[in-house]
């Protein structure tokens, strides 16, 4: 099984699981679930390292990431000391290397947050917990000149997976509305395939691409329950 097949298989399994979970939440009786659903925005930044597998060459990257999506929280406020939050979003990534070439990527991300209450009041919950996330991204760089003076562009498809830790507050601001900001740290691994297109000598060089980076993030969600 090649890299692209592994990516499609893993992404398909993740999305199937996501659909089953969302369906189970939506069809459960309203009195039995005090869930909150609403939009979120997410901003993060950090740095890391990527490597071309065959040529064994690596490069550092600075990552700038922004996302918008839908958040589902099983218990935004109330007596429960545990809640599960699912963030499903569209994410844009800028991965800039040390030669100022930026890979602009976009894709789908699914993040699972397991929140344990540190402080639990009727209208306020302060929580902390681990997170697990998956994403699939595709993108390309602008045109650039390599060390030989040739005109190039790089395209890539990446499956990303990550773990981290988050903390946040769920603040009830009205009867059916909860403001839910959070911050945290993510450790991201990436695996996929890249293609370097050389327009000067008319070649396309495909190669496996792997990497990792870490980011600090801030997430702002507005939940309706």
Q: How far apart are alpha carbons 70 and 172 in whole angstroms?
A: 18
What is the bridge-based pairing of β-strands 151-174 and 144-145? antiparallel
pLDDT tens by residue, 90-142 = 999 999 998 899 999 999 999 999 999 999 998 999 999 999 999 999 999 99
Instruction: Indicate if the pLDDT at residue 12 is higher than 90.
Output: no
Q: pLDDT digit string (tens) for 27-41?
A: 444 344 479 999 999
Give me the pLDDT at residue 30, please: 38
Work out the mean pLDDT of the chain and round it to a whole number: 88
Question: Among residues 31, 49, 106, 73, which one has the least CA distance to residue 182?
Answer: 73
pLDDT at 45 over 50: yes
Q: What is the pLDDT of residue 122?
A: 87
Instruction: Check residue 29 and give its pLDDT.
Output: 45
Percent of the chain with pLDDT over 90: 78
- Name the phi and psi angles at 6, rounded to 5: -65, -40
79 vs 151, higher pLDDT: 151
pLDDT of residue 109: 97
Q: Provide the percentage of residues in the chain whose pLDDT is more than 70.
A: 85
Q: Which band of pLDDT confidence, cut at 50, 70 and 90, is reported for residue 13?
A: low
Q: Is the pLDDT of residue 53 over 50?
A: yes
Q: Does the pLDDT at position 89 exceed 70?
A: yes
CA 75 to each of CA 8, 37, 140, 147: distance values in angstroms, whole numbers, following the listed order: 33, 10, 40, 55
d(CA 208, CA 60): 17
Report CA-CA distances (Å) from 94 to 45, 58, 104, 138, 196: 10, 17, 5, 11, 17
Residue 54 — pLDDT band, cuts 50, 70, 90? confident
Name which residue leads in pLDDT, 165 or 23: 165
pLDDT of 55 reads: 82
Three-state SS sequence of the chain? CCHHHHHHHHHHHHHHHHHHHHHHHHHCCHHHCCCEEEEEEEEEEEEEEEEECCCCEEEEEEEEEEEEEEEEECCCCCCCCEEEEEEEEEEEEEEEECCCCEEEEEEEEEEEEEEEEEEEECCEEEEEEEEEEEEEEEEEECCEECCCCCEEEEEEEEEEEEEEEEEEEEEEEECCEEEEEEEEEEEEEEEEEEEEEECCCCEEEEEEEEEEEEEEEEEEEEEEC
pLDDT at res. 22: 45
Nearest CA-CA partner of 195 in 209, 180, 176, 181: 209
pTM above 0.75, yes or no: yes
């Amino acid at each position: 099984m090649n890299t692209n097949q592994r990516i499609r298989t893993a992404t398909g399994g993740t999305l199937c699981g996501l659909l089953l979970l969302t369906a189970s939440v939506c069809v459960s009786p309203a009195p039995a679930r005090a869930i909150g659903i609403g939009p979120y925005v997410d901003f993060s930044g950090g740095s890391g390292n990527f490597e071309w597998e065959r040529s064994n060459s690596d490069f550092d990257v600075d990552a700038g990431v922004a996302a918008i999506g839908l958040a589902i929280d099983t218990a935004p406020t109330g007596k429960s000391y545990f809640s599960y939050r699912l963030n499903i979003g569209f994410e844009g990534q800028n991965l800039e290397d040390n030669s100022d070439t930026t890979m602009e990527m976009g894709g789908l991300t699914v993040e699972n947050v397991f929140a344990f209450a540190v402080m639990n009041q009727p209208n306020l919950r302060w929580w902390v917990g681990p997170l697990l996330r998956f994403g699939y991204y595709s993108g390309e760089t602008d045109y650039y000149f390599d060390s030989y003076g040739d005109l190039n562009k790089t395209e890539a498809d990446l499956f990303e997976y990550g773990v981290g830790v988050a903390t946040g507050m769920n603040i009830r601001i009205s009867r059916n509305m909860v403001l839910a900001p959070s911050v945290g740290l993510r450790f991201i691994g990436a695996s996929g395939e890249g293609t370097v297109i050389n327009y000067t000598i008319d070649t396309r060089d495909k190669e496996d691409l792997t990497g990792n980076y870490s980011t600090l993030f801030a997430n702002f969600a507005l939940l309706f329950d």
